[in-house]
Amino acid sequence: MSKMTPQIRFQGFTDDWEERKLSSISERVTRKNKNNESTLPLTISAQDGLVDQNDFFNKQVASRDVTGYFLVKNGEFAYNKSYSNGYPWGAIKRLDKYDMGVLSTLYIVFRPTEINSQFLVSYYDTTRWYREVSKNAAEGARNHGLLNIAPTDFFNTLLVVPNTVDEQEKIGSFFKQLDDTIALHQRKLDLLKEQKKGFLQKMFPKNGAKVPELRFEGFTDDWEERKLGELSNIVGGGTPSTSNPEYWDGDIDWYAPAEIGEQSYVSKSKKTITELGLKKSSARILPVGTVLFTSRAGIGNTAILAKEATTNQGFQSIVPDQNKLDSYFIFSRTNELKRYGEVTGAGSTFVEVSGKQMSKMSIMVPELSEQQKIGSFFKQLDDTIALHQRKLNLLTEQKKGFLQKMFVS
């Protein structure tokens, strides 16, 4: 039998970890909400833990009558024992945000007794327990024909844990600090996105208005209503025959709609075409600064070309007239472009907007120098948002790595 130790440990701890049944380190909680001690209906969110149903479901699906529900107190854990998409892999979360709340009796509730509570919070983020609870649910179903995990099977799940409270506490504290850092970055990111939303509302004129609420100093002229086709060329795409290898794997980037939407700028496509493939299709070379615009299902995703490229026919891309339209200014109006595309697009199989329709779109624009100021402002904001998103992604990946290495897998 292999040593029951994780790959990474805090200094000074060398003993093997041990297997413990959940029933030996916790107590099941079955107290009912008889005297309406709480009317706060809870649900489990994988990201946010045990949360108020009213918030989570936006006041739409919250339970009304909570008599007879389980009464859950701060520090207790809950698990939804029903299968989710065929797997009993719902999250196990501790009640941290409120003193108490109520949960449907579909949940299993327990409190830790012989284990550090914070350690357990992190343990239930690992993949090991997923395998264990899945195995026990499957065995329970074979033995009893159950469609979900029975409480007895759930409390028979085996956990591999340090045999000293000190090591449990160190691991729990480490992951709490990491979770707090991740939560802080998430809040910063959410705040930046909210700020951007506010600027988008205030820095472009509202319907019927000729000037925005918020402007850079020195600009006072009215904005003008123009057609998108007067300020840019709208260019479709094409696909060379996929049965001819001479058309593919060349030096020309060729984008499909699925590649668009994650980044402001794109400079490398998944597939490429040859000069011959370009000639033998309706694909067109688009210059740097073109705003790619997806014109079919998933309509209205955009990105700016950082390197000239072509697209397939799922695009109506905007090639700005450099003397009339700033690329980032029009890119910042993605929401308006998307709404217009969705409203005007038509098709029996799927919604699609044509280049002709896109050319007719009315849009309020200021002089080019003001457009450039606005474009630069939103580029800086988008760059900051992208930076915070990368930091958050990195922290999340680091946590995943530590979960694999700091627990017995």
Determine what percent of the chain is predicted with pLDDT higher than 90: 76
Residue 409 has a pLDDT of 84
Q: Taking 90 as the threshold, does the pLDDT of residue 88 lie above it?
A: no
pLDDT, tens digit, for every residue of 365-376? 999 999 999 999
Q: Where in the chain is the domain with CATH 1.10.287.1120?
A: 164-217+366-409
pLDDT (tens digit per residue) in 246-269: 999 999 999 999 999 889 999 999
What is the per-residue pLDDT across 27-48, written as a single tens digit (0 to 9) for each?
999 999 887 788 889 988 888 8
Cβ atoms 210, 222 nearer than 8 A: yes
For the structural domain made of 164-217+366-409, what CATH number should be given?
A: 1.10.287.1120
pLDDT in tens, 93-112: 999 999 999 999 989 999 99
Mean pLDDT of 394-403: 97
Residue 347 — pLDDT band, cuts 50, 70, 90? low
What is the distance between the alpha carbons of residues 150 and 157, in angstroms, rounded to a whole number?
Answer: 11
Q: How far apart are CA 407 and CA 297, in angstroms?
A: 44
| CATH for the 18-162 domain, from 3.90.220.20, 3.10.620.30, 3.40.50.460, 3.40.50.261 | 3.90.220.20
Q: What is the pLDDT of residue 35?
A: 78
pLDDT for res 201 = 96
Query: What is d(CA 183, CA 55) in angstroms, rounded to the nearest whole number?
Result: 18
Residues of the chain with CATH 3.90.220.20: 18-162, 224-364
CA atoms within 13 A on the CB side of 123: 25
Kindly provide the b/e burial profile for residues 63-94, where b requires at least 16 CB atoms within 10 angstroms of the residue's own CB: beebeebbbbbeebbbbbbebeeeebbbbbbb
Class of domain 224-364: alpha beta
The model's pTM: 0.85
∠ Cα 364 370 375 (to 5°): 85
pLDDT at residue 146 above 70?
no
User: What does the pLDDT read at residue 1?
Assistant: 40
Give the whole-angstrom CA distance, residue 292 versus residue 286: 9
* Statement: residue 84 has pLDDT above 50: yes
